[in-house]
């Protein structure tokens, strides 16, 4: 009888300690896996329901860690912009799951067969209405198109209408990277300018994304745009000409995430800025991206 009582007491103590091999409870494990709530008070941005607030953001092989989606979700909710143009989406299911977690948001991701490092958009339904269906430019396979753009990330066009009255054609790009691909980026610039000139010459156009090259180079692959200042302007040019501490790709460093607008929007730009989240979140570069988001804000027509 005494042995039975002692056995029951021992079992009771074991169960009260959690019963796991390491003495932890399932709740303890869950707590360890929960990402820390982000504080971005020292990396503020200004947005308004009166302005069209757009971010371009290379989110580096999304999702790159088990915490990535949650951190991206927190960042989006804190900054509360209207549209986000994303580059380097590796999983449509992870992208769709992110949209589900973002209450009041919708999304669209490029659909290219065999796609990798896709581009896409997120947009806030209360302020943004999408006109028509987003589409890939130069989607058809040809030696010219395949040379200018990788097969898996053609430029992605989406027209949006904002509640402030602005209608803007967004072109999300992720050009071929690295030294030795300058001719491909130059060819892409030629094709993109031709498309805008031929199809959107009197409309508001904003081309944003990962240009994978500097816009201040001496031998500039984007010269076709720079040679036409009456019709095109890089709103990120002052950033590119500024100190490297403020550039969008700090690990290089360089400012390869850029925003180009057509003359119809010259008077609408309020500001363009790089958001240095890595200065506020120590794990940002390891869990989210090696790129910083770039925010452009547009006022309504006066």
Q: In the prediction, which pLDDT does 10 show?
A: 37
Question: What is the percent of the chain where pLDDT is above 70?
Answer: 87
Q: In the prediction, which pLDDT does 153 show?
A: 85
Of 21-35, 54-68, 106-120, give the lowest mean pLDDT range.
Answer: 21-35
Mapped onto helix, strand or coil, the DSSP state of residue 277 is helix
- What residues pair up with 41 in beta bridges, in sequence order? none
Does the model's pTM come out above 0.85? yes
Q: Alpha helix locations (H) across 156-201?
A: 182-199
The closest of 261, 232, 264, 249 to 294, measured between CA atoms, is 249
Instruction: Quote the tokens at residue 113.
Output: 């067969």
Higher pLDDT, 115 or 224: 224
Examine the pLDDT at 22 and tell me if it is beyond 50: no
Which strands sit side by side in the sheet containing 167-174, from one edge to the other?
Answer: 128-136, 156-162, 167-174, 205-210, 257-262, 232-234
Distances (CA, A) of 114 to 110, 117, 181, 228, 281: 11, 10, 22, 36, 34
Instruction: Give pLDDT tens digits for 137-148.
Output: 999 989 999 999
Backbone angles phi, psi at 135, to 5 degrees: -145, 150
Strands 167-174, 205-210: pairing is parallel
Unique residue bearing structure tokens 């009041």? 104
Instruction: Give pLDDT tens digits for 77-128.
Output: 999 999 999 999 999 999 999 999 999 999 999 866 556 789 999 999 999 9
Domains assigned to the chain:
52-298 (3.60.10.10)
Q: In the prediction, which pLDDT does 3 show?
A: 40
């Amino acid at each position: 009888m005494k042995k039975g009582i002692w056995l029951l007491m021992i079992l009771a103590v074991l169960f009260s300690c959690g019963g796991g091999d390491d003495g932890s409870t399932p709740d303890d494990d869950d707590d360890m896996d929960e990402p820390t709530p982000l504080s971005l008070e020292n990396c503020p941005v200004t947005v308004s329901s009166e302005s069209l607030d757009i971010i371009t953001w290379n989110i580096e092989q999304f999702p790159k860690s088990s915490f990535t989606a949650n951190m991206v979700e927190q960042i989006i909710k804190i900054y509360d912009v209207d549209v986000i143009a994303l580059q380097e989406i590796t999983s449509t299911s992870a992208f769709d799951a992110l949209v589900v977690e973002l209450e009041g948001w919708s999304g669209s991701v490029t659909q290219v067969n065999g796609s990798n490092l896709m581009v896409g958009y997120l947009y806030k339904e209360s302020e943004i209405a999408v006109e028509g269906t987003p589409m890939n430019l130069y989607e058809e396979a040809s030696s010219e198109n395949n040379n200018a753009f990788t097969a898996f990330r053609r430029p992605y066009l989406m027209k949006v209408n904002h509640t402030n009255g602005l209608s803007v054609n967004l072109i999300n790009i992720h050009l071929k990277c690295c030294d030795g691909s300058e001719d491909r980026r130059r060819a892409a610039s030629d094709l993109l300018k031709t498309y805008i000139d031929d199809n959107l010459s009197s409309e508001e156009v904003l081309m944003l994304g990962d240009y994978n090259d500097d816009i201040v180079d001496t031998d500039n692959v984007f010269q076709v745009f720079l040679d036409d200042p009456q019709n095109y302007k890089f709103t990120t040019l002052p950033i590119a000409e500024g100190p490297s501490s403020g550039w969008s790709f700090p690990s290089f460093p360089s400012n390869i995430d850029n925003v180009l607008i057509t003359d119809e929007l010259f008077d609408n730009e309020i500001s363009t800025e790089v958001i240095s989240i890595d200065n506020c979140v120590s794990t940002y570069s390891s869990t989210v991206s090696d790129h910083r988001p770039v925010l452009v804000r547009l006022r309504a027509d006066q």
